[in-house]
Structure 1
Amino acid sequence: MGEFDFVIVGAGSAGCVLANRLSKGARYRVLVLEAGGSDRNFWVRMPIGYGKTFYDGRLNWKYMTEPDPGIAGRRSYWPRGKVLGGSSSINAMVFIRGQAEDFDQWAALGNPGWGYPDVLPYFQRAENNTAGGNDWRGTGGPLQVSDVAKNVHPLCKTYIAAGIEAGLPFNPDFNGASQEGVGLYQITIKKGVRASAATAYLRPAMKRSNLRVETNAHVTRLLFEGGRATGVEYRRAGEKYTVRATREIILCAGAVNTPQILQLSGVGAGHLLRELGIPVVHESPQVGQNLQDHVGVDYIYRSREPTLNNILRPWWGRMMVGSRYLALRDGPLSLSVNQGGGFFRSNSRLARPNMQLYFSPLSYIKAPPGQRPLMSPDPYPGFMIGISNCHPTSRGRLEIRSADPFEAPRIQPNYLSTEQDLEEMLEGVRFLRRLAATESMARLIAEELTPGPAIATRDELMDDIRQRAGSVFHPSGTCAMGPDPVKSVVDPRLRVHGLAGLRVVDASIFPRVTSGNINAPTIMVGERAADFILEDARRA
């Protein structure tokens, strides 16, 4: 394959950003290696199609965690994008930046340049918000962020009214001055089609002669000369290839694959690597540690009024909305099912919201194992209201099982392993019950189906949480940013401590997971890192 100035491993949310920004101007030769294939797939492009890609092994790593005591010994399913665009090509498209305090906390942990005033311009640079620009929103950027208030299901109005009755303020923009309140989510769609990092950043840049993108290229390890990363080894169609990077190798493989690749390459905890027969290139004990994820649980209701179930369940309804989508690119198939949302404080002592809300105007309580049939919901009108925690204190870990680069790593999330996390979830589901008891919701609800009104005591609610709570698919923190090489993996400019020519740019660098969905902050990290890399290249 030869030499490139920059080799980017992973065409996910941050990798696509870097591919675009580093190849601009044709000064540098850039190679992107993506283990998955093309994103030119109908189910990827159609917004509600993520119900199909959720278990599609052609587009998805389909990871499973280890049995977890915090959730009654259950294993969690972790979908991760294995396709151009990464998880931005298979997610629910909700665009949430996080709270200003999240980034101020990053800076306070010893990461100068990552406070909210520092990162806000990069959020704005990334987006083209259909609501227009202001002190918080951006316009003219590559990523379309759409206000879908005119298109959401009518029951979203009922949900918002109930949230206000329950004491939450109406919030027209969770990415504005404050995150707190109830309202509608902004989502990453453009003209009824998913706007992923691939469509926004990568595909426009692929026209450039100095950018090369290799799909189905599974990176097996990094190559080092002394203390410098100089090359990448990968397999494609059964053949082994190597490529050299004259300036930098940039790992953008995500919170699972980035630490996996580092460990396979001899960068990680020495005792683990020696045990597996992998020569230690650099001792970095925090690789794979500090794993964080948001945990959620849904309450499911039978409705007295029609929901999306009434449209998407019968064959004639599916045919009708399918024809409409193909002809006009609108209707229910052009949206996410996560339409209503919100952020609230589970108790009044807190200074900022610690819980996220989700309202979906459909239900699929009878989903068979191994499937998530969003296109075939329950045969009666139903809807779901869910919560997830914003600031989990539980920490997990991730480590390779062997030196085989094709074996999935061992993922131990340690969900709900602290009393604080469990108490917050209990407070959160009690708020759901209060929300359901408001006048607006009480008129709508025919019956609470799951967990059901018989689950009422503290112990019963706690047990239900452990039995049903699970990932909302925001893993992060496994190569955390920080000033101390013993307590972190990368420095504030995202360079791997103790090694030259190697950076990490993806959600694994989050020292603390942000409040809400993590695609937007991951894209911001890509934008921020692009400036670091180009500045350092000019000085070299």
Structure 2
Amino acid sequence: MWPALLATFLLLSHFSAGSRIPESHLHKRSLQTRNLVTDGSIKESYDFVIVGGGLAGLVLASRLSEDSNTTVLVLEAGLSGDEVATQINEPANTYYNSVVGTEYDWSYTTAKQSGLGDRTTSWPRGKVLGGSSAINGMYLTRPSEIEVNAWQSIASDGGNTANSWGWDAFYAAMKKTETFDAPSDDIAKEAGIQYDKSSHGTQGPIHWGYPGYTFPIVGSWTESLANIGIGTNDDAAGGQNWGGYIAGSSINTANWTRSYSRSGYIDPLPPRSNLDILPSATVTKIVFDTSNASNLTATEVQYASSAQDQAKSVKVKKEVLLAGGTIGSAQVLMISGVGPQDILQSAGVTVLNSLPGVGQHLQDHLSTGLVYETPESTSTAGAMRAAGGDFVNSALFLSYINSATAYVNLTGLLGPDGASSVISAAKQARDASVKNIPSQDSGVLDGYKAIYDVTTDKFFSSEVGQIELLLSITGGGIMIQAAIQHPLSQGHIYITSPSMFDKPVIDPGYLTHDVDVTIMREGLKMARRLGQAAPISGFLGKETSPGDGVNSDDEWNTWLRGAVGTEYHPTGSCAMLPKAQGGVVNAKLQVYGLANVRVADASVYPFEFSSHLGAPTYALAEQAAALIRAHYNGVEETSISSSSNSSGSSGSNSSNGSNRSSSDATRRASSQLLYCLIAFIASLVAL
């Protein structure tokens, strides 16, 4: 027996980075045998009850349970994901074999959008451990220093200076979350990948990597952008994120799998008796002690596996932490009696805390693209997939995901005169645009104006990107996409019944502001100019959508209203703003009027970033955990930014990710050795 086991171990130790170790060794066992629990085995009470086991929720669970005397329960509405591990783990399955549209997706749909010709649009969100980090497109980009500092400024209220959300602290937190896996020299050269290692972490739970396979068209991206006046960015992670580059992706290059909140923050943990994670548990209500009407205390959380099942409850000793995302967190608050009074009363919910901002300030990135035929001479992932063959089932091929990116500011998009004209028009329309806001609460309207002013004064007038351009080569054609980054349009989320099993109404108010239409249109025009520029033009066939019948501004406006949809980055529904501006949480993430409830997910951003939201939300959750631990350890917030680097990879004694003494080769070798050891131990268990 032992010689055979030793031979197995030695064989595994020689696996290349492009090989795949069986998922039963990498994914399924670790969580199921350690922290995953059934309903009958949870404790009567916990220090912290986390509502939502998604991207942020699992970060919180991992970090808070590092304190062995702190008990943590995660209630996740979705399943564990073990049954669809291959679909989740293999990066390219985000295109070819996605769980979107299945029981692992909330499958939300918006209300009819007047700005889109009364169309509804789909809003996929992950309903599985890991949340949307388990089903998304895996882009890792970061917001700019300008945006993060603007967030700190707008979130500050009197003596509350929001120290955790300034650039220095947040930059350190973003680095803390990641392990940077540099691309191979060949991949970097062919794809035109540039980076600065000093802007990245080295020992965090989430891997920032690049595919193990690429295509010549990707390498034409930044040169083509330069030929239309958009410069190349060789350090997009360092605070100046504008320009063209090949973005990082949440890929673990040791085994070419998706790196997400479950695989990074939970699966590697040693056994923790103080951490329980319960899937298939939809939170139905937070129960409050109302003896102090101005500062309610959460005493228990109710949950059920379906609308037909009787709700069960678990007691809360310290805090309830909402991490249900932009939709879920706002819905839980409203169902529990916290939110706009008129909405709660209409839904049949008793109002316990009238908080007008809950569900308001809803924003989203809006996107569509130009589609081109793929010539026979052009190699793309989509064309190779269609042709078939053994290689398209290999780990290397399945590691390829789209990542060519550019963020373009107003001046780059419109020229100096055009940018000045749009900024002037936006400022003049500010007061009139208030009529488009669904809430007419004076505080919510003041918050809208504050966000509006930040957008026009700090974002429109700076180098911050207003349009994102993306290259997609994984479908039947080639697409150059454009996505608006700082919409002036806002909407809201609201409930219509007291049941969490009834989906809320989602109304993002797409394109209800004329300036958004202008920026979106000009972004698409730029996408067309890019498609006509060398050298990328040599890889493209005929433009099939919208085609040569769309040229004038009116034609573009009509077409885009029928074509745009979500870029999957909703935010703002539990905005971090002063209460007087329709805020829901303060800078410590505490819900106004509640003694022991916080929100820690993407819903708290008061405005959109010029970034995909994965990387910043990992950092937000890290900072949230630091704030909470500091509170119970008697540490002031001002100390958090300096101490946020003291803890490294979850479940280890690693540092904050600023140690650059280890080479990429050493890190990858260590990772592969770890997986081999896991496989070896699993073989022993199987015997």
Same-fold call, TM cutoff 0.5: yes
Q: Does structure 1 conserve the Cα–Cα contact (< 8 Å) formed by 2:374 and 2:539?
A: yes
Q: Does structure 2 conserve the Cα–Cα contact (< 8 Å) formed by 1:18 and 1:527?
A: yes
Question: Are 1:156 and 2:228 counterparts?
Answer: no
Question: Are 1:478 and 2:573 counterparts?
Answer: yes
Q: Does structure 2 conserve the Cα–Cα contact (< 8 Å) formed by 1:284 and 1:485?
A: no
Q: Does structure 2 conserve the Cα–Cα contact (< 8 Å) formed by 1:54 and 1:79?
A: no
Q: 1:445 offset after TM fit, Å?
A: 2.4
Q: 1:133 offset after TM fit, Å?
A: 7.3
Q: Does structure 2 conserve the Cα–Cα contact (< 8 Å) formed by 1:94 and 1:187?
A: yes
Identify if the C-alpha distance between structure 1 residues 57 and 155 changes in structure 2 by more than 3 Å, giving closer, same or farther: same
Distance 1:241 1:63 in 2: 26
Q: Supply the AA of the counterpart residue of 2:493.
A: L
Q: Supply the AA of the counterpart residue of 1:355.
A: I
Distance 1:155 1:296 in 2: 22
Structure 1: which 5+ residue stretches go unaligned?
A: 364-377
Q: 1:161 offset after TM fit, Å?
A: 2.1
Q: Does structure 2 conserve the Cα–Cα contact (< 8 Å) formed by 1:397 and 1:412?
A: yes
- Aligned residue for 1:176, secondary structure, equals coil
Q: Does structure 2 conserve the Cα–Cα contact (< 8 Å) formed by 1:485 and 1:497?
A: no
1:270 paired residue number: 341
Question: Are 1:231 and 2:300 counterparts?
Answer: yes
1:496 paired residue number: 591
Which deviates further from its counterpart, 460-469 or 347-356?
347-356
Q: Does structure 2 conserve the Cα–Cα contact (< 8 Å) formed by 1:66 and 1:412?
A: yes
Distance 1:460 1:206 in 2: 59
Structure 2: which 5+ residue stretches go unaligned?
A: 1-42, 157-161, 183-194, 291-295, 420-460, 636-687
Q: TM-score, normalised by structure 2?
A: 0.73
CA-based RMSD of the aligned residues comes to 1.7
- Aligned residue for 1:109, secondary structure, equals helix
2:46 paired residue number: 4
Percent identical: 32
Distance 2:141 2:403 in 1: 13
1:20 paired residue number: 62
Out of 201, 207, 221, which is 1:138 matched to? 201
Question: Are 1:242 and 2:313 counterparts?
Answer: yes
Q: Which has the higher helix share?
A: 2
Q: Supply the AA of the counterpart residue of 2:135.
A: I
Identify if the C-alpha distance between structure 1 residues 119 and 536 changes in structure 2 by more than 3 Å, giving closer, same or farther: same
Structure 1 residues 86-116: Cα deviation after superposition (integer angstroms, max 9, x where no partner): 0000000000121111111111213322121
Q: Supply the AA of the counterpart residue of 1:10.
A: G
Question: Are 1:347 and 2:458 counterparts?
Answer: no
2:248 paired residue number: 186
Q: Supply the AA of the counterpart residue of 1:72.
A: G
Distance 2:105 2:557 in 1: 32
2:544 paired residue number: 449
Q: Supply the AA of the counterpart residue of 1:335.
A: Y
Q: Supply the AA of the counterpart residue of 1:351.
A: S
Structure 1 residues 260-295: Cα deviation after superposition (integer angstroms, max 9, x where no partner): 111000000111111222111101000000001000
1:288 paired residue number: 359
- Aligned residue for 1:528, secondary structure, equals helix
Question: Are 1:312 and 2:385 counterparts?
Answer: yes
Structure 1 residues 52-108: Cα deviation after superposition (integer angstroms, max 9, x where no partner): 335332211000000101112111100000000000000000001211111111112
- Aligned residue for 2:245, secondary structure, equals strand
Q: Does structure 1 conserve the Cα–Cα contact (< 8 Å) formed by 2:213 and 2:399?
A: no
Distance 2:470 2:107 in 1: 24
Q: Supply the AA of the counterpart residue of 1:80.
A: R
Q: Does structure 1 conserve the Cα–Cα contact (< 8 Å) formed by 2:101 and 2:124?
A: no
Q: Does structure 2 conserve the Cα–Cα contact (< 8 Å) formed by 1:206 and 1:212?
A: no
1:335 paired residue number: 400
- Aligned residue for 1:439, secondary structure, equals coil
Structure 1 residues 141-161: Cα deviation after superposition (integer angstroms, max 9, x where no partner): 11110034x622221012222
Q: TM-score, normalised by structure 1?
A: 0.92
Q: Does structure 1 conserve the Cα–Cα contact (< 8 Å) formed by 2:100 and 2:135?
A: no
Distance 1:206 1:490 in 2: 33
Q: Does structure 1 conserve the Cα–Cα contact (< 8 Å) formed by 2:480 and 2:531?
A: no
Question: Are 1:359 and 2:471 counterparts?
Answer: yes
Q: 1:433 offset after TM fit, Å?
A: 1.7
Distance 2:513 2:225 in 1: 29
Out of 168, 174, 180, which is 2:230 matched to? 168
Distance 1:392 1:439 in 2: 31
Q: 1:529 offset after TM fit, Å?
A: 0.5
Identify if the C-alpha distance between structure 1 residues 90 and 219 changes in structure 2 by more than 3 Å, giving closer, same or farther: same
- Aligned residue for 1:449, secondary structure, equals strand
- Aligned residue for 1:35, secondary structure, equals coil
Distance 2:228 2:112 in 1: 36
Q: 1:134 offset after TM fit, Å?
A: 4.4
Q: 1:240 offset after TM fit, Å?
A: 2.2
Q: 1:177 offset after TM fit, Å?
A: 4.5
Identify if the C-alpha distance between structure 1 residues 412 and 284 changes in structure 2 by more than 3 Å, giving closer, same or farther: same
Structure 1 residues 166-192: Cα deviation after superposition (integer angstroms, max 9, x where no partner): 111122342135212212110001121
1:123 paired residue number: 174
Question: Are 1:301 and 2:372 counterparts?
Answer: yes
2:187 paired residue number: none
2:125 paired residue number: 80
Which deviates further from its counterpart, 529-538 or 48-57?
48-57
Distance 1:59 1:172 in 2: 37
Structure 1 residues 455-490: Cα deviation after superposition (integer angstroms, max 9, x where no partner): 111100111110101110101110001222552000
Q: Supply the AA of the counterpart residue of 1:500.
A: A
Identify if the C-alpha distance between structure 1 residues 428 and 451 changes in structure 2 by more than 3 Å, giving closer, same or farther: same
